[in-house]
Amino acid sequence: MRRLLDAAAGLVLGYLFLPIFVIVAYSFNSPAGKFNFVWKGFSVAAWLDPFRYPALVEAMQLSIIVAALSTLMATVLGTMLALALSRYRFRGAGGVGLLLVLPLATPEVVLGSSLLSLFLTLNVPTGFATIVIAHVMFSVSYVAFTVRARLRGFDWSLEEAAMDLGAGPWRVFRTVTLPLITPGIVAAAMLAFALSLDDFVITLFNSGSDVTYPLYVYGARRAAFPPQINVLASAILGLSLAVLGVNAWWQRRRMRAT
């Protein structure tokens, strides 16, 4: 029975990774035509020339810049919200919580299209700024909930102790609270970054003529799908794996030190 359960879990994990293997494998494909859906032969050509398609590279660059900027803003806003909700009891906390949950419960099509209708009504041209605005909007909730989860069980009396010792509130925050909640903030920031990089639907509605990496891939479905798309996706995967690995190793070290 136990074995069956483990086997089932293993199968599901394998199922989760099946497309990943295909993505990486097909970055080594040498497709005959414009599309990359049938295996033709092994080749490292795409890896040796990953930046062959300037439009793809520009799209990737835009995605990374948007992700960095929106992660920064969303992490600040979301962490502040999480701190407020965890540390204090105040009227309207329930309302704030509801406001945070609602975007998660709204289909992306509606989030994207409503934002577009706002911009259209206000005559704001869609482009880089509107993409960032949209990304911050949907990331704030995720950051707030992630940091809040980490703050559960946080011993706030540490802050009180520090203040009793004479430290001002900002100093207390900086030297006592912040170091302890940093892992949670880092996790939330990584989540926000991934969400931004990955976002397609909301960006589709609010990008104007700017093209992010997911938008490029979507356009490619009709026209041409070079293996370089797989190369860049695999590269991102590799980098993320590295970051996760480093973060895990660093956590282990800190845990052993304390």
Binding to another protein, residues 176-235 (CB under 8 A)? 194, 197-198, 200-201, 204-205, 208-209, 211, 213-214, 217-219, 221-225, 229-230, 233-234
- Among 41-49, 64-72, 114-122, 177-185, which window interacts with another protein (CB under 8 A)? 114-122
Q: Measured between alpha carbons, how far is 15 from 218 in angstroms, rounded to an integer?
A: 24
106 binds another protein (CB under 8 A): yes
What's the token pair of residue 247?
């973060």
Select from 61, 169, 178, 254 the one that contacts another protein (CB under 8 A).
169
Give the residue, chosen from 64, 65, 163, 176, that forms a contact with another protein under the rule CB under 8 A. 163
242 contributes a contact to another protein by CB under 8 A: no
Handedness of CA 82, 83, 87, 91 (dihedral sign): negative
Indicate whether 162 belongs to the interface with another protein (CB under 8 A): no
Residue closer to another protein by CB (options 15, 48) is 15
Contacts with another protein: how many residues (CB under 8 A)?
106
Closer residue to another protein, CB minimum distance, 44 or 177: 177
DSSP string of 25-90, one letter each residue? HHTTB--SSS--SS---B--HHHHSTT--HHHHHHHHHHHHHHHHHHHHHHHHHHHHHHHHHH---
Nearest one of 212, 233, 197, 195 to 23, comparing CA atoms = 233
Alpha carbon distances (Å) from 194 to 53, 62, 107, 198, 215: 23, 14, 19, 6, 15
For residues 26 to 65, the per-residue mask of contacts with another protein, x marking binding by CB under 8 A and - elsewhere, is x-----xxxxxxx----------------x----------
- Can you tell me whether residue 42 is helix, strand or coil? strand
Q: Contact with another protein (CB under 8 A): which of 44, 104, 180, 246?
A: 104
Least distance between another protein and beta carbon 81 (Å): 4
Helix (H, G, I), strand (E, B), or coil: what is residue 250?
helix
Dist CA 72 CA 189 (whole Å): 8
- C-alpha distances (whole Å) from 188 to each of 86, 143, 148, 199, 238 are 16, 5, 10, 16, 20
Which of 117, 171, 175, 182 is close enough to bind another protein by CB under 8 A? 117
Under the binding rule (CB under 8 A), the answer on residue 241 touching another protein is: yes
Greatest Cα pair distance, the chain, in angstroms, is 72
111 binds another protein (CB under 8 A): yes
Based on the shown chain and the rule CB under 8 A, indicate whether residue 246 belongs to the binding site for another protein: no
Judged by CB under 8 A, does residue 170 bind another protein?
no
